[in-house]
Structure 1
Amino acid sequence: MTNARATPAIGPSLQAGAPAGEAVASSGARPEPRPLRHGLRLLAVLGTLLAFASISTDLYLPALPGMGIALGAGQSLLELTISSYLIGFGAGQLFWGPIGDRYGRRGPVAVGLLVFVVGAAGCALATSAPQLIGWRVVQALGASAGVVLARAMVRDLYDRDRAARMLSILMTVMAIAPLLGPSLGGQILRVAPWQAIFWTLVAIGLTTFASLFTLPETLPPERRDTTPLRRAVAGYGPLLGDRRLLGYAGACGFYYAGIFASVAGTPFAYIGYYKLSPQLYGALFAAGTIGLMIANVVNSRLVTRFGSDRLLRLGTIGAALTGGVVALVSTTDWGGLFGLAASLIVFGAMNGFIVANAIAGALSSFPTRAGAVSALVGAIQYGSGMIGSAVAGAFADGTPGPMGWVIALSGIGSLLSLTLAGRRRGAPL
């Protein structure tokens, strides 16, 4: 039995065909929607929370060379500030998910934002690379709360296909972060030292913290998981035993292995192998982000008509096919730079059909444990990404070939995860 009266109706006016202020004619499953401006506020706050993973890294990328000089650290040590962040970000989601299911969403997100602010301030005050690495882990632990529980908040408010639509809209918003982050960081460096970038992140964290309290709690007390936290964390075991949930998580995780292989490999492929200037590399990076945004918009418009599973399958098929093209082009040099860039842009655009729909499907499998499910999917997502980038780096030979084959295998793995998980009781995913 649903507790419709206790669930705040933030954002239904954003759903297709629901005008602001119109009461929902239903059997009581949804209360009357708030005005559209409240839905836009939700979009802005949740979009910012989901973008914290990108904001925290993309903004300071242009400062890495200067930071190396200032801190007396080499490139390999400074790259640990990125990998350590990913470790903290993945592990942190497993911590915050059960807490959000037990205590609600808004309070834990607020605590996470304060941890993020402390971590960002610590980075700004760091006087050595090891200190910076340590504070980056703290920063990641805080940022992960907003990301994992923002997805759970969407599931609190929307049914499955509507949740997939909302997640697509939010991912379109959050795609602005990697599009503008490096440029904004570069502009900050023109007028201030590298520490100013982390003070900017402190300001973003505090602003988001204040904005969070303009939204009501999305998980009322009567719908919370009263399981003790120790047992709730142990409850990840049954989730990992659910074949359907693993299908959704695997589709997302394998795909992210390819995405992070691309992130790690394209600078060396474009700049080192094809001798592209850093400026043109930035333009190709932006083109990939724009492709992702377009795919998310298309998904948000089609998902309530065709269903999230059907579009997810379309995305995994596209990832498998374009991943094969990437492997072919990167190995044979067929099409040269244009062939590689074009196929990578299309592979990246499949994100718009895979991630939102896979997360919505996973959340629908265990709606009463949305926080834990969101955390598990997120940990698999970023853990797979680390593996993908590490494998691409381990087999690097100065050509784009190893990166291409990792991307191809990742696309095939994404499709197979979805297909094999659906072979149960004749219910295909």
Structure 2
Amino acid sequence: MNLKTILILGALSAFGPLAIDFYLPGFPAIALAFGTDEKHVQLTLASYFLGLSIGQLAYGPVADRFGRRIPLLFGVGLFTLASLACAFAPTLEWLIAARFVQALGGCAGMVLSRAIVSDTCNPVESAKVFSQLMLVMGLAPILAPMLGGLMVNVYGWQSIFLALTIFSAAISLAVALGLPESMPAGHPRQPLSGAFGQYRRLLGDRVLLGHALTGGIAIAGMFSYIAGSPFVFIKLYGVPPEHYGWLFGINAAGFILTAQVNARLVGRFGPARLLSRAVWVYLAAALTLLLIANLHTEKLWPLLVPLFIYIASLGCILPNASACAMTGQGKRAGSASALLGCLQFSVAAGAAALVGVLHDGTAVPMATVITLCGVCAVGLAMFTLHLQKRRDAGAVHTDVRV
């Protein structure tokens, strides 16, 4: 896969996280503009997560029926229009609804970028490409909060959504001119009437489901960090708000670096083997984080070390879990990608909510949820890899008999 295609797919994959991280610094300004509090402004984030989960399930069958380009252009166009509607929202209710529609458009890039990689790459190449996409996606949490905060202070919160409008319009043009249809011409087209049956069959694929949930639970740990770190860093340890973005960025840089190392190693070791090692690193870092959190240290740096290692391990877990889940999906790659994304965001949103429920004024709730995710990720990964070995051995045995 050439660099131009990777950059376009990376930008499409970044729609989801970019539209989240970019506007977070604008919460106080949005609350002030609509005469409400930040708790109600958070409904704009909840509606966005809801749109991401629902929308991905819709795009999968459509992509398997009509190909990748048409639904992709529709989704990016919808994101552009919804971003413009967000910028000129006259009420908070309008903004909440526009954010939901924005997510419905934005998730097209997330679903179809994975399907395009599956269409054009074998499992090892897929893991390499997914790792390279992490480089583009990983820049969003580094740059977006800092740039968003600057734009809010200088131009107001509406400027964030105007910037998203311009960005998505540019990507729409790049897709139209530079991204050909990846679904083979002679590929069987799946009827929309069979969408529910297709999802039922995919849910019955225990190997796909296991890899998808392994990645989803790993992402859930990251969402727990996103939900809990502002309180831990700023309120608990007194980090100035303007320095929070730097700490966030350092951890994101570890994620990007690991993803690039993974891209170099996956050809030698394979995605399944690297995944089986990375989840143990994740768990070890999470357990260390939980231990330090329970010591209630007066310094922040003892927490930062295991946090960095744990987030860095995601740069290996996420691309390999996606590559393993999408392997062999063929004509149902769109639906498989949609189910993968829906499961991951649903689990992740639940974990972020759990951090809030367990809140006790310490770093323990965040560390506890991250550790629970680590335990579940290791258990799922080991069980799924066992299932995959059994299936592969059965396939080899059948070939020998034939």
**TM-score range, shorter-chain basis?**
over 0.9
- Counterparts of 2:288 and 2:297, CA distance in 1: 10
Match of 2:238 in 1: 275
Within 1, Cα distance between the matches of 2:388 and 2:188?
31
Contact 2:146 2:245 in 1 (8 A): no
* Distance of 2:92 and 2:370 partners within structure 1: 32
Q: Give yes or no for the alignment of 1:61 onto 2:24.
A: yes
Structure 1 position 91 matched with structure 2 position 60: no
Q: Equivalent residues in 2 for 1:30-429 (5 A)?
A: 39-213=2-176, 214-226=178-190, 228-333=191-296, 336-424=299-387, 427=390
Q: Percent same amino acid among aligned pairs? A: 37
Q: Does the residue aligned with 2:42 lie in a helix, a strand or coil? A: helix
Q: What is the deviation of 1:281?
A: 1.8
Asked whether the 8 Å contact 2:212–2:322 carries over to 1, the reply is yes
365-374 or 398-407, which deviates more: 365-374
Q: Give the aligned partner of residue 21 of structure 1.
A: none
Aligned partners of 2:232 and 2:363 also within 8 Å: yes
Partners of 1:357 and 1:340 in 2: CA distance: 27
**Cα 1:381–1:425, aligned 2, differ >3 Å: closer, same or farther?**
closer
Task: Tell me the SS of whatever aligns to 1:284.
Answer: helix
Residue 425 to residue 91, structure 1, CA distance change in 2 (3 Å)? closer
Q: Is the 8 A contact 2:10 2:137 kept in 1?
A: yes
For structure 1, the 5+ residue unaligned runs are: 1-10, 12-38
Over 6 Å off, 4+ runs: none
SS at match of 2:186: helix
| Counterpart-to-counterpart distance in 2, 1:265 and 1:216 | 41
Give 1:426 deviation, angstroms. 5.1
How many residue pairs get aligned? The number is 391
Distance in 2 between residues matched to 1:290 and 1:196, nearest whole Å:
26
More deviation, 386-395/273-282? 273-282
Contact 2:272 2:385 in 1 (8 A): no
Whether the 8 Å CA contact 2:207–2:388 is kept in 1: the answer is no
Measured in 1, the distance between the counterparts of 2:142 and 2:312 equals 14
Question: Any conservation in 1 of the 2:289–2:307 contact (CA below 8 Å)?
Answer: yes
What's the CA shift string for 1:38-81, capped at 9, x where partnerless?
Answer: x2211211110000012112222222111111111211111111
Secondary structure of the structure 1 residue equivalent to 2:386: coil
Alignment gaps of 5+ in structure 2: 393-402
SS in 2 for 1:43: helix
Give the structure with the larger helix fraction: 2
Q: State how far apart, in whole Å, the 1-side matches of 2:166 and 2:304 are.
A: 36
Decide which moves more: 301-310 or 319-328: 319-328
Aligned residues of 1:253 and 1:385 also touching (Cα < 8 A): yes
RMSD in angstroms over aligned alpha carbons? 1.6
Is the Cα–Cα contact under 8 Å of residues 142 and 245 in structure 2 kept in the other structure?
no
Letter in 2 for 1:84: S
1:425/1:257 CA distance change after superposition, 3 Å? closer
TM-score normalised to structure 1 length? 0.88
Name the CA distance, whole Å, in 1 between partners of 2:65 and 2:213: 26
Q: Contact conserved, 1:49 with 1:150, CA < 8 A, in 2?
A: yes
Give the whole-Å Cα distance in 1 for the aligned partners of 2:237 and 2:330: 48
Residues 254-290 of structure 1 show CA distances to partners (whole Å, capped at 9, x for unaligned) of 1112111111001111111112111222211011110
Deviations 1:289-339 (A, max 9, x none): 100010001000100111000111111111111111111111123584111
Question: Counterpart of 2:88 in structure 1: which amino acid?
Answer: L
Give, in whole Å, the separation in 1 of the partners of 2:121 and 2:141.
27
Looking at structure 2, the residues matched to 201 and 300 of structure 1 have their Cα atoms a distance apart, in angstroms, of 29
Q: Distance in 1 between matches of 2:113 and 2:390?
A: 29
User: Contact 1:314–1:353 (CA<8 Å) still a contact in 2?
Assistant: no
Q: Matched residues in 2 for 1:83 and 1:365: separation?
A: 34
> What is the match of residue 397 of structure 2?
none
- Distance in 1, matches of 2:381 and 2:136, equals 27
- Distance in 2 separating the partners of 1:274 and 1:57: 25
Rounded to whole Å, the distance in 2 between the matches of 1:173 and 1:126 is 30
CA separation in 2, counterparts of 1:186 and 1:287? 18
Deviation at 1:224, TM superposition (A): 4.0
Deviation at 1:127, TM superposition (A): 1.4
